[in-house]
Amino acid sequence: MLQNILAYQEIDKDLIKVENLLVSSEERKIASRAKSFLEESAKNVARMEKRAEELLSLYNDAKRSYDENAQLIHEYDALVPTLKSGDEATYLIKKVNQALDDIKALEKELASISKDMEDLAKSFNEFRAKYNAAGKEFLENREKYEKLKQEYAPVVKELKAKLEEQAKKIDPAILEKYKKRRADRIFPVLVEARGNKCGGCSMEISLKEMDKLRSKKIIECENCHRFIYYRE
Ligand SMILES: [Zn+2]
């Protein structure tokens, strides 16, 4: 019984080696990094579009005020021939100067918004270049990764067939637990007891569990949930 599941684990170890080799391959890493960047990009584009809308709205507001002030000066100008007193003239000059000050400030504001718009357009172009490069990188490396996977496919197929064959000799309940641990990335699933300690996590095994281990030859670690086995 124990021998069978240990033999199963040995075959599985080779399969895990291949799986790790594929997962940690440069091709997969680069493709997955590029993919995350592409996925993140949607958020960046939305953010930039929102900012562009904000800037446009600010620009339109400032332009409207600018035009209004320009119109005011035009109207004040038309009033000059109708002035009747020095007081009226002083008042008009004051109003004209006020409008001129506003125009000056608005010109500055418009220039600043225009600069922000240019910067945003520049960032967007830079971003687009990066986006295109990431897209190309993703496709190239995904293809390379697929090729690599195909290269290893016969080995994987053979190991899986061996595992299936070996699985027939193992108690299904134990095998199911084994597979669950493996899926949780606990490996090796079966470890030999080191004295009265778990061979996986080194947790001390209680006296009660030690008795069980001696009689049943296999127990589950209460800490790391590996199977601990015992060989005479
Ligand atoms: Zn343990």
**131 and 67, same structural domain?**
yes
List of residues 6+ apart from 215 with CB closer than 8 A: none
What's the pLDDT score for residue 54? 97
Average pLDDT, the chain: 95
- CB of 218 within 8 A of CB of 189? no
Instruction: Give which of 171, 186, 183 is closest to 223, Cα–Cα.
Output: 186
Residue 231 pLDDT > 90 = no
- Between the CA of 205 and the centroid of ligand 1 the distance, in Å, is 9
Mean pLDDT along residues 119-139: 96
First to last CA, the chain: 15
- Between the CA of 228 and the centroid of ligand 1 the distance, in Å, is 8
Q: Give how many domains the chain has, as a whole number.
A: 2
**162 and 127, same structural domain?**
yes
Among 135, 167, 199, the domain-final residue is 167
Q: What is the pLDDT of residues 154-206, one digit of tens each?
A: 999 999 999 999 999 999 999 999 999 999 999 999 999 999 999 999 999 99
**188 and 86, same structural domain?**
no
- Between the CA of 8 and the centroid of ligand 1 the distance, in Å, is 20
Is residue 14 one of the residues assigned to a domain?
no
Question: Buried b / exposed e across 204-220, counting CB within 10 Å, b at 16+?
Answer: ebeeebbebbeeeebbe
**175 and 157, same structural domain?**
no
- Between the CA of 155 and the centroid of ligand 1 the distance, in Å, is 31
Structural domain harbouring 75: 23-167
Share of the chain above pLDDT 90, in %: 95
- Between the CA of 111 and the centroid of ligand 1 the distance, in Å, is 68
Among 118, 138, 167, the domain-final residue is 167
Residue 200, exposed/middle/buried by CB under 10 A (0-12, 13-18, 19+)? buried
**208 and 144, same structural domain?**
no
Q: What is the pLDDT of residues 58-107, one digit of tens each?
A: 999 999 999 999 999 999 999 989 989 999 999 999 999 999 999 999 99
**184 and 148, same structural domain?**
no
- Between the CA of 214 and the centroid of ligand 1 the distance, in Å, is 17
**230 and 151, same structural domain?**
no
pLDDT band at 8 (very low <50, low <70, confident <90, very high): very high
In the chain, alpha helices (H): 2-23, 26-79, 86-167, 172-183, 207-216
pLDDT band at 1 (very low <50, low <70, confident <90, very high): confident
**130 and 220, same structural domain?**
no
Is residue 160 one of the residues assigned to a domain?
yes
Share of the chain above pLDDT 70, in %: 100
Is residue 7 one of the residues assigned to a domain?
no
**69 and 139, same structural domain?**
yes
- Between the CA of 224 and the centroid of ligand 1 the distance, in Å, is 4
- Between the CA of 92 and the centroid of ligand 1 the distance, in Å, is 91
What's the pLDDT score for residue 168? 97
* CA 203/CA 226 separation, integer angstroms: 11
Task: Give the CATH number, domain containing residue 97.
Answer: 1.10.287
Residue 232 pLDDT > 80 = no
List of residues 6+ apart from 192 with CB closer than 8 A: 199, 228, 229, 230, 231
**149 and 39, same structural domain?**
yes
- Between the CA of 198 and the centroid of ligand 1 the distance, in Å, is 5
- Between the CA of 182 and the centroid of ligand 1 the distance, in Å, is 14
What's the pLDDT score for residue 59? 97
Is residue 128 one of the residues assigned to a domain?
yes
Place of tokens 């996977």: 149
- Between the CA of 225 and the centroid of ligand 1 the distance, in Å, is 6
* CA 178/CA 173 separation, integer angstroms: 9
- Between the CA of 19 and the centroid of ligand 1 the distance, in Å, is 24
* CA 80/CA 84 separation, integer angstroms: 9
